Structure 1
């Protein structure tokens, strides 16, 4: 029995889960969805939020840099909007026709009889559509997405950037409501000052690269970070993943940045760049593929 235990331990693979970002990770940046998404966000800011067109680029850059996503930043500085409407507008006009079935990636994923999970800041509708276009909808155990970490009924501003329970007031010192009107925090003016300081309004939206968002995702999916490979095209998301003990793979470049254990020019280079995934592989016949779905919250 002791010999069998040692043998099984020796055969145990180094990783038991692969955690994948979606956009610009499972397909290349050259597909053009990222550029189209960026333009759609700018259009939404002008058409739906009434933001001056001349301020869009600078404002968007500041929000993305300081809050992880433009959407999270817009909510932080005082703009109120329907999340589903935002996602429908931003993703509804994307050139999904640019995405084609990827049998090479499909075969790679299906050759690995270990857990595979999607973790994206995007909404569920977008995630499912991308996976369907790529022909990968049955290659993943589940999807952790915007709705997973941001239940729609929780819409208050957190007093703590990493407080995913959203306890606290919907009114902050930086975004006060007067006569049913919310004053917008001028983040452009804030950073134009000689010494702007670090005090910014908090966002109710939980998303990467927040460490708390990553920790909650791991908790929801019951993932052990020390036995998980995290695939991302974003350096700052990779670095956040490293802070919670994930093994990290930067996708889209062969240059390994700080925080990345591996670097892949393309996700297709997976076998060559990370051979450890296949080492000591335990063959499992009839490994059940599961339809991609949002991973349910466990009690």
Structure 2
């Protein structure tokens, strides 16, 4: 094991574009569904819908957070609609399942999605038995990453000592609150959309692929 990780007791993973590559383009389907939802709700074309969507995404952390804050959108109806997608682009990742199984300590998924969707994704990846729990958007009281309350709630729910935890995430901005409370941070830089000119000083490690990173830093079984 990399000696810089010897203190880690809790391994926390984002879901989308982290446990599977952004190149799978699964989230593109969700992106399109969000655009369709906004176009229908506001009776605008898809170009304007995308402008609205991305404004909420960058301004509020998630599109849903913006819609809830400014238009009192029902989160359950929204999530049901945007998560109604095909997952045949995802394949089982046995090497990743094996690498996660070898990690010493607890393993938790921390996602702005909801648990039913996350469970489907993990099942497709062959990771259905890999994690102790899924901490989802409802567990965050609908206040998503990067809201500080999401991280505080995660640590409280699972009695996590931040200084003994590591967090893997494809959105660099979502690592800043984790670093601020003492977590080790890994940015999964694999092509996900980022905000313009974001700070990177809160990132401890960068990788393009979680499976390869775990192999390199944790060694063989």
Q: Which category of TM-score, normalised to the shorter sequence, fits these structures?
A: 0.7 to 0.9
Secondary structure class of the residue paired with 2:103: coil
Tell me what 1:83 maps to.
75
Aligned residue among 12, 20, 28 for 1:27: 20
List structure 1 runs of 4+ shifted beyond 4 angstroms: none
Match of 1:259 in 2: 202
Structure showing greater radius of gyration is 1
Deviation at 1:138, TM superposition (A): 0.6
> 2: CA distance between counterparts of 1:51 and 1:263?
41
Cross-structure match for 1:46: 39
How many angstroms apart in 1 are the aligned matches of 2:172 and 2:51? 21
Q: How does 1:136-175 map to 2 (within 5 A)?
A: 136-150=127-141
Report what 2:101 is aligned to.
110
Aligned-partner Cα distance in 2 for 1:102–1:253: 17
Tell me, which stretches of 5 or more residues in structure 1 are unaligned?
Answer: 1-11, 151-204, 284-299
Which residue does the alignment assign to 2:214? Answer: 271
Q: Secondary structure at the match of 2:51?
A: helix
Q: Cα distance, 1:246 vs. partner?
A: 1.0
Alignment root-mean-square deviation, CA = 2.3
2:194 maps to none
Structure 1 residue 273: Cα displacement: 4.6
SS in 2 for 1:263: strand
Distance (whole Å) between structure 2 residues aligned to residue 84 and residue 75 of structure 1 = 11
Q: 1:147 aligns to what SS in structure 2?
A: coil
- How does 1:57-96 map onto structure 2 within 5 Å? 57-77=50-70, 79-93=71-85, 95-96=86-87
Q: How many residues align?
A: 210
Partner of 1:121: 112
Q: Judging changes above 3 Å, is the alpha-carbon distance between structure 1 residues 101 and 272 closer, same or farther for their aligned structure 2 residues?
A: closer
Deviations 1:120-140 (A, max 9, x none): 000111000000000101110
Asked if the contact 2:38/2:53 (under 8 Å) is kept, the reply is no
**Structure 2: where are the runs of 5+ without partners?**
192-198
In the alignment, is the contact (CA less than 8 A) between 2:187 and 2:203 conserved in 1?
yes
How far the C-alpha of 1:272 sits from its partner, in A, is 4.8
